[in-house]
Amino acid sequence: MSAQSSDQFQSLDQAIQQALREWHRRNVTASPLCRLLLYRKALRASGQHVHKATNQVLYDALTRLSKNNAEAANLLQARFQDKEQVYALSNRLNLAESTIYALQKDAILELADVLEQMEQEAQQRQRLMLGERLMGQNYSELVGIEEPLALLLELLTDADAPTIISIEGLGGIGKTTLADALLRRVIAQG
C-alpha cells in the first residue's frame, strides 16, 4: 500500500485476512471491514446481514483483482472460498507449502491495494453525491463562526459523536449558514 494511505488502511491487509478466514462463518456479529464505506453500503443492501455484506465486499475486490492478477485471485479463492488446505494446494500446484504461504501473503497485500482503491473511489462518489445535494453557496466569506465551526467539526469527527446535534439560537444569526459550512467542511474532509 502507498505511504500516503490513511490510518484506516494501515491494517487493511490484516482485516482482509480475518474476513477471508470468516468467509464460511455465518454467525459473525461484527466485520473486520466495518470501517469501510463499501462495507456499510453492502450492509444496507444485504438487509443488515454482516456475513453477506463482508463476503460481498471481498467478492467484489477479488473480481477486480482477477482482472489484474488472476493467479493471486485464484489462490485466495482456493484457500478461503473453496477451503483448500495448504498441503493440498501445494501438491496440486507442485509448490512448497512455504511458497504457498508467501504467495498468499502477497495476494492479500494486492487485494488490500485493490480494496483501498475501491474504497477511495466509493468515498469520492459519496462526496460528489453529498455535494450535489447542497444548494448553491449564498455567502462568499464567513465572519465570526470559525470557533463554533471548529467546535462542531471536532464534535462530529469524535469517535463517540452524538447521533443528533442541534444548533439553536435566535432567528437570523446564521444557524443555517453555520450548518451549511459545517457540512461542506465534513464533505471536503471525507
Q: How do residues 141-179 score in pLDDT, each as one tens digit?
A: 777 788 888 888 888 877 777 778 888 888 887 888 888
DSSP 32-90: TTTT-HHHHHHHHHTTS-HHHHHHHHHHHHHHHHHHH-HHHHHHHIIIIIS---HHHHH
d(CA 6, CA 63): 24
pLDDT at 137: 67
Return all residues near 121 (Cβ < 8 A) that are at least 6 apart: none
pLDDT above 70 (res 139): no
pLDDT digits (tens, 9 = 90+) for 87-128: 999 999 999 999 999 999 999 999 999 999 999 999 989 888
pLDDT digits (tens, 9 = 90+) for 2-32: 443 444 445 899 999 999 999 999 888 999 9
pLDDT at 188: 78
